[in-house]
Chains A and B, each alone.
Chain A
Amino acid sequence: MMGETQIMDSIVLMVLLPMAAGIIGLVTRRTPALQRWSVGSLLGLCAVCGAWLTGSLSPNTPGFCGEFVSFLGNWPPPFAIVIVLDALSGTLMTVTALVGVACLIGGVGERGDSYGLSWLAPMLAFLIMGVNFSFLTGDLFNLFVAFEIMLMASYALALRNATPEGVKQAHKYVVINLFGSGIFVLAAGLVYGVTGTLNMADLALYTDRVAAAGDDVPVAFGAAGVMLLFVFTLKAAIFPMWFWLPDTYHRMPAAVGGVFAALLSKVGMYAILRVIPATFGGVDSLPLAEILEVLAGCTMVLGALCALGVPTVRRVMSFILISHMGNALFMISVGVRNPELGAGAYGAVGFLLVQEMFVIAGLYTVGAACVRHAGTDDLRMISSLHKGMPRLAWLAFVLTIAGAGLPPTAAFVAKAWIVQEGVRAGSWWLLTLMMVSAFFMLIALVRVWAAAFWKLRTATPESVSVHGGPSGWATASVAFLVLGVVLTSVGANTLHAVMVSAGQRVAGSGRDLRGEYVPPVLKPRESPDEQGGGH
């Protein structure tokens, strides 16, 4: 059952509100209190707006299958740059804004730069603007632009108050992303050169159009698919391209590490989900399912194994994040191999991403709080932190359970859903790998919590300098994120229903159950020659 497409220009608010927040944040940066309140309330408004738009997608039909579209400049599709809000992007944007608010809370105690100016709030708002734009856009080149907005803001956030060590690490981050962006533009140009369109919905129809005309899909199209996959897996930190993430994220300034982990990798995974199966699933020269399966298996297992082996809290969390991304990619590969199961599998990806954003942001913030409290988050040097910060210890316990995917939390629902779809698809190898990786992740997370918070202090006391209790604001930030975890767990049923329909919508833009395309946002294509040339 597909809902209908409605024109709703107010979805552009999801980009405009963070932009307004950023601009106001820049103007008011000499008065930090005013800045935080205005930016925070605008981001909160953005979250409310996202929830309202997602909720009103189609209130009368169970399953929220509709979507809101805005054609920028009122050009007819596929010539317009379209922005689309459906259940998946709407939910992700809502959670994005909430994670942004949590980061803002955590950054309250932070000092400004040497002129006393505070840059956290405006740059965070611009980051969220870029993230929301990536979730919203229905145009491949605009996805690139959105990525760039996001990356520019992330460079600023990473380098703000950076130590000399941080500056050195930033080189790696910047150059890796610069290379990725370059390949992205090249791939977008190649796709345009081959197909003559950049509209994602139109691209999803391309292989069918070619097949209908009796031609073969050009090899260049498959090559563009591989290049795009490279770029997106680089962003999502999938197996061969993950190497930069553990080195950079764990050196980020305290407040932003969680946001980076929660948002940037999700954007990469979302881009894979939106673009790759729908557009390149039907290209015969590209063994997409096999590629995705190998990448997913390696990412899950190696991520979990590395999580066992690394010594600091935030490095462990980096690898937990990577392993979660592997789970998401596993589901995408199931959807690519079995198009008829796509709806369920893509829904599981959406569910995993949404609930994991809160969890991973919370875990990173806990790691940052350990650094603040004990001077380090090295597991061999910290212990019995529950004495110094009892509240944070309990919050960290909830996050540990959620990160490992244990029953009372929504993460368990996500795992169960993934297993269900995996069984249905009969991909036993990957299921086994996923189970093994889940087991390792459980050990790694419990080890972190036990070593950092529970274990009694034994030796090496001189190496740990206690810097006093954790900042109340850091605890508040983690509490906010835990509240998100609790809400997604309590509302798991609703979220599940929303994600089932979101999965149908995502699968609908690719190969459908009925073997036909139901592209989002594409009215009947008019001949280019009647549209005034060009395109």
Chain B
Amino acid sequence: MTALLSLCVCVVLAVSVYLLLSRELKSVAMGAFILSHAIHLGILTMSGSPMLGDGSALASPVLSEAIESEALADTGEVRRSELYVDPLPQALILTSIVISFAITAVVLTLLVVTHRDAGTLRVERLKVSDRPEPPGLA
């Protein structure tokens, strides 16, 4: 499962970098959005797999008497980090999603404004009018 997720992260990251390097601002923005997905997936991967070696899974991170007493009966001790899934990476991802959502809105607005002003989103055409006034050093 972790290997599969890592592969997914690699592919999505590669796509986003490819888009980020493009010369059209819309694609660059798309690359930035996909980058955030790759990163959220990456955090999920790094938080470890919820699947245990014997095919069973960790419990969802809500304290449960039943699970703990069962573990106590099985192994004689309660190690909660080995019973429940770690909820913190998901909290990190949630926070990060909200932030990237807001930034997506900013970037899209910027695209609209740029297109309205310049009539194009191609970097090389935007650049022509961007020369500083006097020639020479700049």
Q: Are A168 and B130 in contact (CB under 8 A)?
A: yes
Is residue B52 within 8 Å, beta carbon to beta carbon, of the partner chain?
no
Of the candidates A155, A185, A190, the one whose C-beta lies within 8 Å of that of B96 is A185
Cα-based distance from A71 to B22 in the complex (angstroms): 45
Which residues of chain B come closer than 8 Å to A117, judged between CB atoms? none
Q: Are A533 and B80 in contact (CB under 8 A)?
A: yes
Of the candidates B47, B106, B107, the one whose C-beta lies within 8 Å of that of A192 is B47
Query: Shortest distance in angstroms between B128's beta carbon and chain A's nearest beta carbon?
Result: 11
Of the candidates A152, A168, A185, A193, the one whose C-beta lies within 8 Å of that of B106 is A152
Majority DSSP secondary structure for residues of B touching A:
helix
User: Contacts A182-B35, A311-B134, A533-B83: A193 and B110 contacting too (C-beta < 8 A)?
Assistant: no
Cα-based distance from A165 to B130 in the complex (angstroms): 7
Which residues of chain A come closer than 8 Å to B79, judged between CB atoms? 529
Cα-based distance from A165 to B117 in the complex (angstroms): 9
| 0 or 1 for each of B14-47: is its CB under 8 Å from A? (1 = yes) | 0000001000010011001001101110110011
Cα-based distance from A516 to B130 in the complex (angstroms): 55
Query: Shortest distance in angstroms between A195's beta carbon and chain B's nearest beta carbon?
Result: 11
Q: Are B96 and A159 in contact (CB under 8 A)?
A: no
Q: Are A534 and B84 in contact (CB under 8 A)?
A: yes
Is residue A340 within 8 Å, beta carbon to beta carbon, of the partner chain?
no
Which residues of chain B come closer than 8 Å to A155, judged between CB atoms? 106
| 0 or 1 for each of A150-180: is its CB under 8 Å from B? (1 = yes) | 0110010001000011011111001100110
Is residue B136 within 8 Å, beta carbon to beta carbon, of the partner chain?
yes
| 0 or 1 for each of B107-119: is its CB under 8 Å from A? (1 = yes) | 1001001100110
Query: Shortest distance in angstroms between B46's beta carbon and chain A's nearest beta carbon?
Result: 3
Query: Shortest distance in angstroms between B85's beta carbon and chain A's nearest beta carbon?
Result: 9
Cα-based distance from A183 to B78 in the complex (angstroms): 36
Is residue B99 within 8 Å, beta carbon to beta carbon, of the partner chain?
yes
Cα-based distance from A193 to B134 in the complex (angstroms): 52
Is residue A186 within 8 Å, beta carbon to beta carbon, of the partner chain?
yes
Query: Shortest distance in angstroms between A307's beta carbon and chain B's nearest beta carbon?
Result: 12
Q: Are B110 and A170 in contact (CB under 8 A)?
A: yes
Is residue A381 within 8 Å, beta carbon to beta carbon, of the partner chain?
yes
Of the candidates A151, A169, A175, A186, the one whose C-beta lies within 8 Å of that of B39 is A186
Query: Shortest distance in angstroms between B34's beta carbon and chain A's nearest beta carbon?
Result: 10
Classify chain A's interface size.
Answer: 35 or more
Query: Shortest distance in angstroms between B125's beta carbon and chain A's nearest beta carbon?
Result: 11
Of the candidates A182, A186, A535, the one whose C-beta lies within 8 Å of that of B86 is A535
Cα-based distance from A168 to B95 in the complex (angstroms): 29
Q: Are A141 and B32 in contact (CB under 8 A)?
A: no
Q: Are B80 and A529 in contact (CB under 8 A)?
A: yes
Q: Are A186 and B43 in contact (CB under 8 A)?
A: yes
Majority DSSP secondary structure for residues of A touching B:
helix
| 0 or 1 for each of B94-106: is its CB under 8 Å from A? (1 = yes) | 0110010011001
User: Contacts A145-B95, A533-B81: A378 and B88 contacting too (C-beta < 8 A)?
Assistant: no
Is residue B72 within 8 Å, beta carbon to beta carbon, of the partner chain?
no
Cα-based distance from A164 to B129 in the complex (angstroms): 10
Cα-based distance from A189 to B40 in the complex (angstroms): 9
Cα-based distance from A193 to B89 in the complex (angstroms): 8
User: Contacts A185-B43, A533-B81: A178 and B48 contacting too (C-beta < 8 A)?
Assistant: no
Q: Are A192 and B88 in contact (CB under 8 A)?
A: yes
Cα-based distance from A439 to B29 in the complex (angstroms): 42
User: Contacts A182-B35, A534-B84: A171 and B110 contacting too (C-beta < 8 A)?
Assistant: yes
Is residue B126 within 8 Å, beta carbon to beta carbon, of the partner chain?
yes
Is residue B92 within 8 Å, beta carbon to beta carbon, of the partner chain?
yes
Q: Are A533 and B63 in contact (CB under 8 A)?
A: yes
User: Contacts A179-B20, A189-B89: A148 and B35 contacting too (C-beta < 8 A)?
Assistant: no
Query: Shortest distance in angstroms between B101's beta carbon and chain A's nearest beta carbon?
Result: 11
Q: Are A533 and B99 in contact (CB under 8 A)?
A: no
| 0 or 1 for each of A458-487: is its CB under 8 Å from B? (1 = yes) | 000000000000000000000000000000
Q: Are A171 and B114 in contact (CB under 8 A)?
A: yes
Is residue B138 within 8 Å, beta carbon to beta carbon, of the partner chain?
yes
Which residues of chain A come closer than 8 Å to B25, judged between CB atoms? 171
Which residues of chain A come closer than 8 Å to B133, judged between CB atoms? 376, 378
User: Contacts A148-B99, A185-B39: A190 and B110 contacting too (C-beta < 8 A)?
Assistant: no
Query: Shortest distance in angstroms between A411's beta carbon and chain B's nearest beta carbon?
Result: 27
Of the candidates A148, A175, A185, the one whose C-beta lies within 8 Å of that of B28 is A175
Is residue B3 within 8 Å, beta carbon to beta carbon, of the partner chain?
no
Q: Are B134 and A381 in contact (CB under 8 A)?
A: yes
Known interface pairs A171-B25, A186-B39; 20 further A-B residue pairs with C-beta atoms within 8 A, sorted by A's residue number = A152-B103, A164-B114, A167-B117, A168-B114, A171-B28, A175-B32, A178-B32, A182-B38, A186-B43, A189-B47, A189-B92, A190-B42, A192-B43, A193-B43, A311-B134, A311-B138, A376-B133, A378-B132, A532-B63, A534-B87
Closest 5 CB pairs of A and B: A533-B80, A193-B46, A189-B43, A164-B117, A186-B39
Could you list 29 A-B pairs, sorted by A, with CB under 8 Å?
A141-B92, A145-B99, A148-B99, A148-B103, A152-B103, A152-B106, A171-B114, A174-B103, A174-B107, A174-B110, A175-B28, A175-B107, A178-B103, A179-B35, A181-B99, A182-B36, A182-B39, A185-B39, A185-B96, A186-B39, A192-B43, A192-B89, A193-B43, A311-B136, A311-B138, A381-B134, A529-B80, A529-B81, A532-B80
